[in-house]
Amino acid sequence: MTNTPGCNERAVAEFTVALIVNLIRDVHNFNWKVNEGNSSHFTLAKEWRQIKIGIVGLGRIGKEVATILKDMGFSVCAWTAHPKKHNKFLEKTSIRLVKSINKLCSLCDVVSFHVRLTDKTRNIIGIKELEVMKSHSGYLINTSRSGLLDYRALKVALKKGWIKGAALDVWPEEPIKSKWLKKLASDPKIIASPHVAGRTKIAINKAISLCGYNVAWIISGIPEIATCVPLEELRYQ
């Protein structure tokens, strides 16, 4: 099995940042407010320098998101399962490392996931993490894998007011068929998108080209050059 790594991290990172800005400024709700004549009734938003954003995972995409946000003026901290591996990046960017996801959730206005889905990371955000979200006014972003987040726990958190909203590009069902998931996706506190974070012309062209090269290298008898997925990882694809 071959794959095409390194093709869409910039695309996913840019989409993630767009979702963050959209949520904290409530842009997605302005249309209906204007149409209903409520344009003068809205909550005063924080400025970017007042917002602390937590990044879960410091792989290629997580680092890209963190770097863009730092350049934009946001305060950024992160959690990673491999802190020593990212020492140089953390020193260069002055990003604060937090020891647990639970602590990250309690400190940050926005939490964004950028880790691989494995047995250890499945449902890393559940009831316990959602219940401690900062001042019950935080946001969640998931442009990674749906299995990282307990979506039923998110439904509870929204109902109880533990979080203010979420932006979700990945879903337990794609396309969504269950009534409860459709209801969640239509919640005004949710920005729902159909797994499109990595879909830009540049990213798709890169992936198609690398896919072609992988096939050519394997047919030519030099599979060691191709990018391959280890067999033990296939069940998570």
pLDDT tens by residue, the chain, 237 residues: 888 888 899 999 999 999 999 999 888 777 666 666 665 566 677 888 889 999 999 999 999 999 999 999 999 999 999 999 999 999 999 999 999 999 999 999 999 999 999 999 999 999 999 999 987 889 999 999 999 999 999 999 999 999 999 999 999 999 999 999 999 999 999 999 999 999 999 999 999 999 999 999 999 999 888 887 765 555 544
Beta-carbon contacts of residue 19 (< 8 Å; ≥ 6 apart): 141, 143, 167, 169, 191, 193
How confident is the model at residue 90, as a pLDDT? 93
pLDDT at 48: 84
Sheet strands side by side (includes 138-142) = 96-97, 75-79, 52-56, 110-113, 138-142, 163-168, 190-192
**Of 60, 136, 152, 195, which one is the catalytic site residue?**
195
* pLDDT recorded at residue 236: 46
Eight-state DSSP code of residue 110: E
Given 116, 173, 174, 199, which residue is catalytic? 174
For residues 97 and 79, give the distance between their C-alpha atoms in angstroms, rounded to a whole number.
6
**Catalytic entry in 122, 145, 152, 233:** 145
- pLDDT value at position 237? 46
Q: Which residue in this structure is represented by tokens 């540049």? A: 202
**Amino acid sitting at position 174:** E
Under 8 Å between Cβ of 43 and 22: no
Q: Beta strand 75-79 with 138-142: parallel, antiparallel or unpaired?
A: unpaired
86 in catalytic set: no
Bridge partners, 193 (sequence order): none
From the list 188, 174, 162, 178, the residue with the least C-alpha distance to 32 is 188
| pLDDT given at position 42 | 62
- Active-site residue 174, yes or no? yes
